[in-house]
């Protein structure tokens, strides 16, 4: 369970998060919507531990563990996965090698035996197939020369293989055509279960047609200003965010 209490954070002198309160029980998928600049991406970066953000107050725990106190890799080992809005290119680093290194780093941290190359490749190929991705996805360098859609699919592939218990999807739908969007949604839905929760950050309703959230939150000016069921997303789609910020 992810519990965020009164979380405030800044970039430099600029206050971005102004007291986020959010509880996400295991097994649930929550969506965070909101206008540009509301702090949606900041929330995902703060939760995953990117440098450049200063937490000035509040707390965030995952399954009782204070995640703000630990390194990014320890958060990954704790089961948190961030699907990047802008996945990073790693020249010369093969995708399969990268994902396997990550899988085994996490397994090592958890005291689970590492996967050998053969076992990993078997799993990876199966994931590729079920996500309807091209085979060469594994052979290419991480995100290098990938189209925007391919990069997002690669994030989903990594998620499928790292099997997180909490996924943070930061505008994974942006720049995707409808087929890619479905692949992304399928990837998330495939992990749905009592031990998996996800925080889906998005601007638009359309991703939520495919990943139906249990709860929808509206983030505006660094605070959650409204929460509700899936119907809230449709309402926002129809009426926009106008008027919400004041709430």
Q: In terms of DSSP H, where are the helices of 144-229?
A: 148-162, 178-191, 206-210
Based on the shown chain and the rule CB under 8 A, indicate whether residue 51 belongs to the binding site for another protein: yes
Based on the shown chain and the rule CB under 8 A, indicate whether residue 61 belongs to the binding site for another protein: no
Burial of 3: CB neighbours in 10 Å, binned 0-12, 13-18, 19+: middle
Q: Which of 21, 98, 192, 212 binds another protein (CB under 8 A)?
A: 98
Handedness of CA 26, 48, 176, 143 (dihedral sign): negative
Based on the shown chain and the rule CB under 8 A, indicate whether residue 116 belongs to the binding site for another protein: no
Based on the shown chain and the rule CB under 8 A, indicate whether residue 13 belongs to the binding site for another protein: no
Q: Which of 66, 73, 116, 179 binds another protein (CB under 8 A)?
A: 73
Q: Which of 32, 76, 138, 181 binds another protein (CB under 8 A)?
A: 76
Based on the shown chain and the rule CB under 8 A, indicate whether residue 109 belongs to the binding site for another protein: yes
Residue 143's nearest CA partner among 206, 81, 194, 98 is: 98
Alpha-carbon span 131 to 128, nearest angstrom: 5
Alpha-carbon span 46 to 241, nearest angstrom: 24
Comparing CB distances to another protein, the nearer of 102 and 121 is 102
- 35-36-42 Cα angle (round to 5): 110
Residue 81's nearest CA partner among 10, 146, 170, 7 is: 170
Comparing CB distances to another protein, the nearer of 35 and 94 is 94
Based on the shown chain and the rule CB under 8 A, indicate whether residue 204 belongs to the binding site for another protein: no
By CB under 8 A, the residues from 130 to 189 that bind another protein are 141, 158, 162
Binding residues for another protein, rule: CB under 8 A, are: 48-51, 71-73, 75-77, 81-82, 84, 87-93, 97-99, 101-103, 105-106, 109, 141, 158, 162
């Amino acid at each position: 369970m992810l519990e965020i209490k009164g979380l405030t954070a800044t970039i430099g002198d600029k206050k971005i998060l102004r007291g986020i309160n959010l509880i996400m029980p295991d097994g649930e998928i929550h969506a965070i919507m909101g206008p540009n600049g509301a702090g949606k991406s900041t929330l995902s970066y703060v939760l995953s531990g990117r440098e450049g953000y200063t937490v000035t107050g509040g707390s965030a725990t995952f399954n009782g563990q204070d995640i703000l106190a630990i390194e990014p890799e320890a958060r990954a080992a704790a089961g948190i996965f961030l699907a990047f809005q802008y996945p990073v290119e790693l020249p010369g680093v093969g995708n399969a090698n990268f994902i396997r290194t990550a899988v085994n780093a996490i397994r090592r941290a958890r005291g689970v035996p590492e996967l050998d190359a053969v076992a990993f490749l078997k799993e990876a190929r199966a994931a590729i197939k079920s996500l309807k991705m091209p085979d060469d996805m594994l052979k290419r360098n991480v995100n290098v020369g990938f189209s925007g859609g391919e990069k997002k699919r690669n994030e989903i592939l990594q998620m499928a293989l790292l099997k997180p218990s909490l996924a943070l999807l930061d505008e994974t739908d942006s720049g995707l055509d409808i087929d890619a969007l479905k692949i992304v949604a399928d990837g998330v839905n495939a992990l749905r279960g009592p031990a998996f929760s996800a925080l889906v950050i998005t601007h638009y309703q359309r991703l939520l047609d495919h990943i139906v959230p249990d709860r929808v939150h509206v983030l505006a000016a660094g605070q959650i200003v409204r929460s509700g069921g899936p119907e809230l997303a449709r309402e926002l789609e129809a009426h926009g965010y106008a008027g919400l910020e004041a709430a």
